């Protein structure tokens, strides 16, 4: 995140639940926003830690249900021009809930991008 900030790009963090003391200090002193942007060109990084799934890079209990996360992502796509996206922190075995959810998420984001493209 800090590298993208050095490029002067606006950053938004939605759904984060845990950070180190240093990360909290960085966020407190930064211009990072925690609201859904509107009318922007965005690159969307979807960290699977957002969801309440165990086979992710940094499991934290209390994540969003899939329906909540997809609603948030749909709102971002509807209000902005999504130039691209990635899905990260899938740390799973074949055919488990996390990889299946990531596949479904990929399908949903692509369909929203097509439906709401500007």
Chain segment 19-75, per-residue pLDDT in tens: 888 888 887 887 777 788 899 888 888 989 889 888 888 888 888 899 999 999 999
Report yes or no on whether pTM surpasses 0.85. Answer: no
Per DSSP, the three-state class of 110 is helix
Tokens matching residue 94: 């074949």
Pick the closest to residue 13 from 50, 39, 38 (CA basis).
Answer: 50
| Predicted pLDDT at 95 | 67
- Banded pLDDT at 1 (limits 50, 70, 90): low
What are the backbone dihedrals phi and psi of residue 86, each rounded to the nearest 5 degrees, phi first?
A: -140, 160
How far does CA 63 lie from the centroid of its chain?
12
Walk me through the domains of the chain, giving residue ranges and CATH numbers.
2-115 (3.40.800.10)
- Banded pLDDT at 94 (limits 50, 70, 90): low
Chain segment 107-118, per-residue pLDDT in tens: 999 999 999 987
């Amino acid at each position: 995140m800090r590298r993208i900030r050095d490029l002067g790009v606006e950053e938004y963090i939605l759904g984060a639940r845990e950070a180190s003391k240093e990360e909290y200090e960085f966020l407190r002193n930064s211009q990072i926003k925690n609201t859904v942007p509107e009318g922007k060109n965005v690159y969307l990084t979807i960290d699977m830690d957002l969801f309440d799934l165990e086979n992710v890079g940094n499991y934290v209990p209390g994540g969003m249900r899939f329906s909540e996360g997809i609603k948030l992502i749909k709102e971002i796509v509807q209000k902005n021009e999504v130039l691209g996206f990635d899905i990260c922190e899938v740390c799973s075995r074949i055919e488990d809930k996390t990889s299946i959810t990531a596949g479904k998420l990929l399908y949903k984001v692509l369909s929203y991008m097509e439906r709401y493209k500007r």
